[in-house]
């Protein structure tokens, strides 16, 4: 392995740095975007039970907000639960955009690594080929086996760039798809919560209207 790194020359240094950064991002995002930490099981059902029993004091809502992205979205809906449904939906969408931005953290960097890895590898190969042809120009063609070995060493950078880029690209696409799946599930839980809250809100409106009518009589 060390011999391959030496064969690639100095362009291997940024490629190795990209490899380390890509690996760190993949591990960090894999840990952060675990389903259990984003969509805790039975959290939506628990919050709907709170709502149906009227246990929606600020302490409960704040503790819910700090549990997970799903908890943050449901807490945002509960903050404006007394407003019309359309306004609550707008609040959910607004908070959802912020949550997507938070979950996509570092993914742009990972996509950049996936795109730049092959280019940097190709650059290293071109540098190696230039050096080899300059040597041929100074010393002549020499041994054909030596020439083939030089070409092989120059191509090490291209292979390394591919090795960096392919896993980075696959991880980038996988994380994007996983986040999209999470967002759909979170929106579904938020809509279920709205359906639970709406009957309680609707029940309060007629009672107020009937009391006003009684006063008028």
Model pLDDT for residues 101-159, shown as the tens digit of each residue: 999 999 999 999 999 988 988 888 887 777 777 766 666 665 555 566 667 677 888 88
In a domain, 72, yes or no: yes
In a domain, 8, yes or no: yes
In a domain, 215, yes or no: no
Task: Please state whether the predicted TM-score (pTM) of the whole model is above 0.85.
Answer: no
In a domain, 47, yes or no: yes
Instruction: Read off the tokens for 150.
Output: 């030089």
The count of domains in the chain is 1
Give me the pLDDT at residue 168, please: 94
Give me the pLDDT at residue 112, please: 93
Identify the three-state secondary structure at position 206: helix
Parts of the chain with a pLDDT under 50: 202-217
Q: What share of the chain is helix, strand, coil (3-state, %, to 5)?
A: 85, 0, 15
In a domain, 134, yes or no: yes
Give me the pLDDT at residue 155, please: 81
In a domain, 137, yes or no: yes
In a domain, 217, yes or no: no
Give me the pLDDT at residue 122, please: 86
The domain containing residue 48 runs over which residues?
A: 2-210
Q: How many CA atoms lie within 13 A of 63 on its CB side?
A: 9
Give me the pLDDT at residue 149, please: 61
**With contact defined as beta carbons under 8 Å apart, do 158 and 122 qualify?**
yes
In a domain, 216, yes or no: no
Which of 88, 104, 64 shows the shortest CA–CA distance to 197? 88
């Amino acid at each position: 392995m060390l011999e391959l790194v030496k064969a690639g020359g100095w362009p291997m240094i940024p490629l190795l740095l990209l490899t380390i950064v890509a690996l760190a991002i993949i591990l960090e995002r894999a840990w952060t975007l675990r389903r259990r930490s984003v969509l805790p099981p039975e959290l939506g059902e628990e919050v709907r039970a709170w709502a149906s029993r009227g246990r929606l004091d600020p302490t409960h809502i704040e503790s819910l907000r700090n549990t997970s992205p799903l908890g943050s979205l449901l807490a945002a809906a509960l903050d404006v639960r007394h407003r019309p449904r359309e306004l609550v939906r707008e609040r959910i969408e607004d908070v959802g955009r912020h949550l997507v931005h938070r979950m996509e953290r570092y993914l742009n960097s990972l996509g950049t690594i996936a795109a730049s890895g092959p280019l940097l590898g190709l650059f290293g190969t071109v540098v190696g080929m230039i050096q080899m042809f300059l040597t041929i120009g100074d010393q002549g063609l020499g041994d054909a086996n030596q020439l083939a070995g030089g070409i092989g060493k120059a191509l090490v950078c291209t292979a390394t760039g591919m090795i960096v880029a392919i896993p980075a690209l696959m991880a980038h696409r996988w994380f994007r798809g996983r986040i999209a799946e999470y967002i759909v599930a979170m929106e579904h839980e938020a809509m279920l919560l709205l359906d639970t809250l709406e009957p309680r809100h609707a029940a309060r409106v007629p009672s107020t209207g009937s009391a006003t009518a009684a006063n008028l009589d």
